Homo-oligomer: A and B are copies of this chain.
Amino acid sequence: MLKYALLGFLNYLDATGYDLKQLLDVSTANFWHAEQSQIYATLKKLENENLISSKIVPQENRPDRRVYSITEKGKQDLINWLNEPIGELEERKETLLLKLFFSAGSEIETLLTELHLQKSLHEKQLELYQTSSREIIAQFRNSTGLEEDARHWELTRRFGEMFEEMYIAWLEEAIQTMEGKSG
């Protein structure tokens, strides 16, 4: 699926593996992320399948850049994927819930510390969505005029915001439940 994240970006502009890592980190990281090495490996694979092509751009005092472009075949593959419905729920993994599920015999204080720590992390993340993510998208909309793209990005930002609000509310409930059992 990283495949489609890369094709998606290359459908906007030509880029190197390094560029693509930066792009992922500042935009899709909250719902799709990847290590630099995985990006390089996947690009190589996509080029073998002729979904993208590359050109070496020499540089002075820096390693040459390998700049990728999407091919017609790549564009078609991307469009096909975008149009085919998902049809099922995403399977997800949540380490905190796994720990909570099995920690009936643990110290309540230890668990409460963990829940408070998680709460502060989620509050920080929520603030990011509400300030910098918001501004980056608004600025992109104003400077490029790409209304539609900005609208879609804004919806993914809004998901993040709502997810964090929900997570914090749940943590507060969990803390309350556990506090009722420790005093």
A interface, by DSSP: helix, strand, loop or mixed? helix
List 4 extra interface pairs beyond A32-B98, A85-B114, A86-B95, CB under 8 A: A32-B93, A85-B117, A105-B148, A162-B166
* A 55-107 contacts with B by CB, 8 A: 78-79, 81-83, 85-107
Listed A/B pairs (25) with beta-carbon separation below 8 Å: A1-B93, A1-B98, A8-B98, A28-B101, A31-B97, A33-B91, A78-B102, A82-B106, A83-B106, A87-B117, A89-B125, A90-B93, A94-B159, A97-B156, A100-B155, A101-B156, A102-B152, A103-B152, A104-B149, A148-B181, A155-B174, A158-B170, A162-B169, A162-B170, A166-B166
Residues of A whose CB lies within 8 Å of any CB of B are: 1, 4-5, 8, 11, 27-28, 30-33, 78-79, 81-83, 85-107, 110, 113-114, 117-118, 121-122, 125, 146, 148-149, 151-153, 155-156, 158-159, 162-163, 165-166, 169-170, 173-174, 177, 181
Q: In the docked arrangement, what's the CA distance between A36 and B82, Å?
A: 31
Q: Are B92 and A92 in contact (CB under 8 A)?
A: yes
How many identical subunits does the complex contain?
Answer: 2
Complex-state Cα separation, A146 to B104, whole angstroms: 9
A79 nearest in chain B by CB position: B106
Query: A122 CA to B102 CA in the complex, in Å?
Result: 26
Question: Bound state CA distance, A117 and B87, in angstroms?
Answer: 7
- Complex Cα distance A87/B114, Å? 8
Q: Give the complex CA separation of A143 and B27 in angstroms.
A: 49
Chain B residues contacting A149 (CB-CB under 8 Å) are 104
- In angstroms, Cα B177 to Cα A24, docked, is 25
Specify which chain B residues have a CB less than 8 angstroms from the CB of A162 in the assembled complex. Answer: 166, 169-170
